[in-house]
Structure 1
Amino acid sequence: MSYAIIGFGKIGQALAHAFARHSIEVAVASRNPPEVLAPQARAIGPTIVATSLQEALKADTIFLAVRSESHRDVAKALPSWKGKTLVDVTNSQAPLEEMDGLLSSAFVAKLYAGAKVVKGFNHLGASALAADPVVPGGHRVVFLASDDEDAVAPVAALAKQLGFAPVNLGRFDEGGALVHARGPTWGPLIFQNMFKKEQ
């Protein structure tokens, strides 16, 4: 399984720290050329590989850590997203009318036609996401939601590998609504830094 992070701002870099902590290789790309990202990627760890957008999009699982207004441009980067799993880590504050009245991840799924889209890792701030999720007696929680049930299991497995405790909230418009921003309104679980005790 290959991984990529599109977007290398605070959240993209925080995710990269999580991968580096477990020596898992991940490609990172943004609107900037790879040579601009390379020094920061190297500083995070040797398994963080700065690359072009087209090269990063060859990965099986892609974390979307871009601004909501950039989704339309990124979605055009591939003629088909079939076979890709996209993890939407963004919190969109775009008006609902700009997203066809859909929850942001449902709108992302519509834009990236053919992809399996999972909402996840979006409820933690960058500093919490970058920190070691393993704490005395437990693990930091990450919430996951998707309209594609088969897509959640491998993302949950990766979350566990990264040291998190994944919690599946179900479909976007069911439990997933708890971690979606709707215009200026934040879902009640966004920014909740929760832990699950070890069994």
Structure 2
Amino acid sequence: MSIGIIGSGALGSNLARILAKKGIAATISNSRGPASLASLVEELGASIRAGTVEEAASADIVFAAVRWVDAEKVLGRLPNWNGRIVVDGTNPVEFLDPNSPDANDPRNPLAAYGIKAVDLGGKYSSQVIRQYVPGARVVKAFNHLDVNVLPEPEVSAGKRVLFYSGDDAGAKAEVRQIIEATGFFPVDLGTLDVGGQLASLPFGPLAAHNFIKI
């Protein structure tokens, strides 16, 4: 089973860190090319290599760790996924320029956090992402926690709970294995139509809750 990560920002780099901690091999990529990832892969060691987006996307399990505003541009240009697994770690939020009017908009309850919600017209995030990855088996996971706590899955004599959801039982089972192998406690929220909404930032009722299984 090969693993690819598309995106090397806060989420992508921390995903690589938790895989590297357990010696799990993966290819990480970004739009700037493998050379831009030299310092990260040097930090993480031999199990993580840098590759192109196309190389990462050819893996058996691919983590989509791109910003929401880039998701269609990055994922939409890739070929059909032919049944491979895409782990949707995205959230429909836009990061704000601190000097922009949006950053001080009193109508935006998330302005203090430097983000605003993207209007999806009544859809939830994985419903949209699924359109960008035709032929993929989509599993929603690794999106509901603060990315800064991801490298520490085991805390307070317990394990952080990681929610996941999807429509394909086989795909969910493989993602669950990764969740367990990296030290988290997996909780299945059911189908994408159910779990995809429950754990999606910023307004899902389970979003940002940091539960610990003792």
Which residue number in structure 2 is paired with residue 96 of structure 1? 120
What SS does structure 1 have at the residue aligned with 2:131? Answer: helix
- Structure with higher Rg: it is 2
RMSD: 1.4
- CA offsets 1:46-68 (integer angstroms, 9 cap, x no match): 21111111111111000001011
The alignment partner of 2:161 has SS state of: strand
Matched, 1:163 2:183: yes
* TM-score normalised according to structure 1 size: 0.90
SS at match of 1:72: helix
1:23 match: 23
Alpha-carbon spacing, 1:72–1:176, altered in 2? closer, same or farther (3 Å): closer
Match of 1:33 in 2: 33
- Residue pair 1:54, 1:77 contacting (<8 A) in 2 also: no
Secondary structure at the aligned position of 1:123 is classed as coil
2:52 alignment counterpart: 52
Structure 1 spans left out of the alignment, 5+ residues: none
For 2:162, the equivalent position in structure 1 comes to 142
Q: Kindly report which structure 2 residues correspond to 1:1-199, keeping only aligned pairs within 5 A, or say none.
A: 1-93=1-93, 94-97=118-121, 101-131=122-152, 133-181=153-201, 185-197=202-214
Structure 1, 63-72 or 161-170: larger mean CA deviation: 63-72
Amino acid at match of 2:133: Y
CA deviation after TM superposition for structure 1 residue 147, in Å = 2.4
Instruction: Give the aligned residue type for 2:204.
Output: G
Distance 1:57 1:176, change over 3 A: closer
The amino acid that maps onto 2:186 is: P
Contact kept, 8 Å, 1:141 with 1:196, in 2: the verdict is yes
**TM-score, with structure 2 as normaliser:** 0.84
Q: Does the C-alpha gap of structure 1 residues 110 and 76 become closer, same or farther in structure 2, counting only changes over 3 Å? A: closer
Q: Give the deviation of 1:192 after TM superposition.
A: 1.2
SS of the residue 2:162 aligns to: strand
**How far apart in 2 are the matches of 1:55 and 1:177?**
30
In 2, distance between residues paired with 1:177 and 1:73?
23
Percent identical among aligned pairs is 39
Give the SS at the match of 2:42.
helix
**Number of matched residues?**
190
Distance 1:77 1:108 in 2: 13
CA–CA separation in structure 2 for the residues paired with 1:45 and 1:90: 26
- Report how far residue 76 of structure 1 moved: 3.1
| Structure 2: tracts of 5 or more residues without a match | 94-117
